[in-house]
Structure 1
Amino acid sequence: MTKANCQEATITANYSATPSVPAGTEVIFRADNVRIGTAVVDGEDTATLRHSFDRAGEKNLTALVQERVVDGRTYPTAEASATLTVNDPAGQDTTTDLTYTRPDVEVEAEVLTGDLIRFIATVDAGDKAIEDGATVSFFDGDTFLGTAPVDPETGQAVFDHRFAERGEHQVRAVFNGQEQKNEDGVTTDVLEPSESDPVVLDVQAHEVVIEEPEPQDPEDPQDPQDPEDPTVPSPTPGTGSGSWDGSGSSGSSSSPNLLASIFGSLAALGLIPQSLLNLLGWNLS
């Protein structure tokens, strides 16, 4: 039997018989007395089994060919044993680089609060492939900003962010590593975590500019009754006037005799006092 130092091992057993190995001869493999699989002896008298171990450590392996009768010939039981040392998979070193773009403006433009910054982390795992589920976390100093998935095709994780506070921001990307498992759920490869150098951004505050209105000369208020203002019409004096007194003289066309007659009738009825008529100079008694 052969030995391997890994979690996924290829175990082989060599079996020979006289005059030859019967076709279909099967080898039973066990690890620590637990059956882990079977394999048929090939034309080169070798049986091969691939098996994944879910725990590291030493494994006591056995390969057993049971007694069988073929064409009247008895083939006796054959067994062999070996020790297999299973180690945790060696970690694959990785590197992470961080860049950024400005989707809305030129990269060289001043970074202002609220501007969209697109960070791109690129993870290199050497000759190992990154699988689905790998992630990169982004930090501003010690402040966690967020996490983005790694695209297995490009090895890149893209993260968009807007800074609310002005000042210097040192952003770094951390690849969180990855354990890769086979279909049996056994870890076969480990990608080690890695961290990028920081990208330094000097974020400035947006300036709010309030335009002051231009001062204007105050206009002198115009008196609408000012006769010097040609836009205000002047009143036209009347051409006639009139007055009357209690003696009955008047410049109007009203007749004092008619008024005296009316007031006399009212006095006769007692509706107005005689003293009022005397005051007006009308003595109608």
Structure 2
Amino acid sequence: MTDPNVPRGSAVLAGLLADLRAESEVLDGLVAGLAPERWATGTPAPGWTVAHQIAHLAWTDDWSELAARDPEGFVAESGRVFGELLAAGADPVEDGAARGAVEEPAALLARWRAGRERLAAALAAVPADTRLPWMGPPMKAPSMATARLMETWAHGQDVADALGAVREPTARLRHIAHLGVRTAGFAFTVHGLPAPQAPVRVELTAPDGEPWTWGPADAADRVAGPALDFCLLVTQRRHRDDLALTAVGAVAQAWLPIAQAFAGPPGKGRDAGSSPRMIE
């Protein structure tokens, strides 16, 4: 039951942070018992090992924590660090992952654990209406928590695929699906295409069989299918052709191949037929 003395925004954020913690613990469980040499296992992301995946999450959590705790410091420090790396021809994201990947696995795991706890505490303290600076558009604390959950789940999928593990889909996928729906216009824009004016109805089947829906019920353009498949699509962890998603209408059909729930330039995604489920 929701506490009437807790502002609704605070309750929403608390729920998101609890789900982020739970998603992090699932991934933690995949890597905590790995022998050191298995941290060097390659993942579906070209050039990235399991260690790169965890290092990237630790790196992004650290920057997110700085943005939540000290917005002005984030703007100054990210401008300096990213500017120096870009001037040297380096990709800040790749650099952060590579630096962390060479750490001793136990130290990297400890750093990721400590960083994600600091981030949760920092986000919990952000005033409800405050927009935090970021590498993309500024966002409020709930949006940042959702973005961190999406990234943790997506990079966790890479780790699971590398290790041959299968994760049980949960209701936490709704956060990722919601982000995927909300970023539809961005997906077109980042590809140099005009944002569509026609609404899209999205009808997904949750892991427990319940329906999750977005958009007008009478929209001509429609996307439907399993929530898991939609989340794999918008995080670009599976190719469109390998998923049980249907699209009706020109806008829906144009959106699915370019969908992305993450900020930044378009990702390469995965090749058709390359996912573990297809290989099996």
The answer to whether the superposition gives a TM-score over 0.5 is no
Structure number with the higher strand fraction is 1
Q: Whose helix proportion is higher, 1 or 2?
A: 2
**Higher relative contact order, chain-length normalized (CA < 8 Å, sep 6+):** 2
